[in-house]
Structure 1
Amino acid sequence: MIPPNSSLVKYENPVLVSKNTDKKTPRARALKVSPSAPGGSGPVPSPPAKQKQPSLEAKSNTQPTDEILNSLLPPREWTENNQLWVQQVSSTPATRIDVINLQELLDLKLQQRQARETGICPVRRELYSQCFDELIRQVTINCAERGLLLLRVRDEIRMTIAAYQTLYESSVAFGMRKALQAEQGKADMERMIQELEQDKRDLERQVNELKAKCDQTEKRAAEQRQVEEKKHAEEIQFLKRTNQQLKTQLEGIIAPKKQ
């Protein structure tokens, strides 16, 4: 017989329920309970009574603790060699030594499974959840009402953790979408940068061409100005010489008359 994975919750010895794999109703399974387990498995307690879903107000007077334990911590079931085995939680009251052993076993499992001491760690969360279930089992045996209240606290904690997990997954998905959008936007921006750089190179080439044209125009204008200034200076010199000649001729004409 291969038992299920070990847990911090204390269970009774497994009980053989059915020898075939056909689907049975819970009533039929309860009628097929075998009072003995395979050889070498040790003594097995009597088969469990027909399970119900009792409320705290209408629980039966016969074995109310077992029914409440089965409703709080459902039995484990597994199949081996076409045989269905069921293992219920233990209804044995816990002592102070059991609590100390539970603490030591919790520390040992945390060390063996290399659970992280800080941050999010599924292993640490699983082990502490098992430890809390075992504490609920121990408390329920002594006081059913206190156990049911602890069950409400456990369910509320799990619901809160599930809500935070959903929120975390949603935020991760939102971050991934934003990252993909950023990657797409990055490609568009890179393409736009390349286009703008090409436009910049074209404009710089145009600026250089216009500067060259401007320099050529200024150079031609300077040369033309120098030619015009030279021509103007020559015209002034010609006019001055002509004026001087006319003045000399005029003085030559006027001088004989005065004599």
Structure 2
Amino acid sequence: MIPPNASLVKYDNPVLVSRNTDKKTPRAKSLKVSPAPPPATGPVPNAPAKQKLQPMDAKSAQQTDEILNSILPPREWTESGQLWVQQVSSTPATRLDVVNLQEELDRRLQQRQARETGICPVRRELYSQCFDELIRQVTINCAERGLLLLRVRDEIRMTIAAYQTLYESSVAFGMRKALQAEQGKADMEKRISELETEKRDLEKQVNELKAKCEQIEKRAQEQRQVEEKKHQEEIQFLKRTNQQLKTQLEGIIAPKK
């Protein structure tokens, strides 16, 4: 028989429930083999009083077992076609058991190299097993207190599950944002490359237009210089012509005096 993984929760000895797992009934999980009480070998004083308390104690023990099975369900595994069931122990715990539980918890934390701080699945699993064992011990002494601790345990697990879901959704959201940013970065780089190409083309056009403007200005300046030179020549020609006409006019007027 190969027992399941060791746990900090105290269990009874495994019990063979069925030799053929295909023929077991759904109610086979709730089966429990309990040793029969030894027969009385002689007269016992106050026997009627014990017989009156025995049904109440048996009923209380049965209720405790049912509560324990509902809080910590029995473990099941198969081996060679045989179904084995191991129910949680209903033996009350002593102070020494609590001390041993603490020492075993510390030993397993060190053995499995659990982290002391931060998120650690190993530390969480071991502390969860330790809490289940404490619930088992408390439930045996007081079922109501055990059920209240069960509510606390379930609330803690639900809160951790909510935080885990929130963490996973935040990670997924961050990944989506990172992919969007990466995609936007690629688009932006492409846009920058296009703008740089457009800038180079525009600079080339500006240089061509500047060269064209310089040529036009140079040609206009040369033309202006030619026109000014021609204008000066015309002025000089008109001045000489005017001087000649003035001289001829003076020559014509002078003899009459």
Cα RMSD (Å): 2.3
Does 1:82 pair with 2:96?
no
CA contact (8 A) 2:19 2:81 kept: yes
Shift of 1:2: 1.4
Give the aligned partner of residue 135 of structure 1: 134
Shift of 1:149: 0.1
Partner deviation per Cα, 1:205-256 (whole Å, 9 max, x = no partner): 2212111111111111111111111111111121222222222222333333
Cα displacement (A) at 1:176 = 2.4
Structure 2 match to 1:54: none
Structure 1 stretch 108-117 or stretch 73-82: which is displaced more? 108-117
Deviation by residue 1:66-117 (Cα, 9 ceiling, x = unmatched): 2211111011111112221111112222222222222222222122222222
Q: How far did residue 171 of structure 1 move?
A: 2.0
Greater fraction of residues in helix: 2
CA distance in 2, matches of 1:147, 1:222: 108
Counterparts of 1:115 and 1:186, CA distance in 2: 41
- Name the SS of the counterpart of 2:24 in structure 1: coil
Q: Which runs of 5+ in 1 are unaligned?
A: 36-44, 48-58
SS in 2 for 1:63: helix
- For 2:97, the aligned partner's letter is D
State the 1:61 CA deviation.
Answer: 3.3
- Kept in 2: contact 1:18–1:85 (CA 8 A): yes
Q: Distance in 2 between matches of 1:103 and 1:157?
A: 21
- Contact map agreement 2:17 2:83 (CA 8 A) in 1: yes
1:203 aligns to 2:202 (yes or no): yes
Name 1:10's counterpart in structure 2. Answer: 10
Structure 1 segment 78-227 matched on structure 2, within 5 A: 78-227=77-226
Aligned equivalents of 1:61, 1:139: Cα separation in 2? 15
Distance 1:104 1:140, change over 3 A: same
AA aligned opposite 1:209: E
**Per-residue displacement from partner, 1:125-146 (whole Å, max 9, x unpaired)?**
1111111101101111111110
Cα pair 2:17 2:28 within 8 Å, conserved? no
* TM-score (ref. length: structure 1): 0.82
DSSP-derived class of the 1:239 partner: helix
Which residue number corresponds to residue 19 of structure 1?
Answer: 19
Structure 2: gaps of 5 or more residues: 37-57
Equivalent in the alignment of 2:35: 46
Partner residue in 1 for 2:47: none
Q: Is the Cα–Cα contact under 8 Å of residues 16 and 83 in structure 2 kept in the other structure?
A: yes
Counterpart of 2:60 in 1: which secondary structure?
Answer: coil
SS in 2 for 1:79: strand
Q: Secondary structure at the match of 2:93?
A: coil
Give, as a single letter, the amino acid of the residue that structure 1 aligns with 2:89.
S
For the residues of structure 1 that align with 2:189 and 2:66, how far apart are their CA atoms?
68
- Report deviation, 1:29: 6.4
Distance 1:225 1:46 in 2: 130
* TM-score normalised to structure 2 length: 0.83
SS at match of 2:116: coil
Does the Cα contact within 8 Å between 1:20 and 1:84 map onto a contact in 2? yes
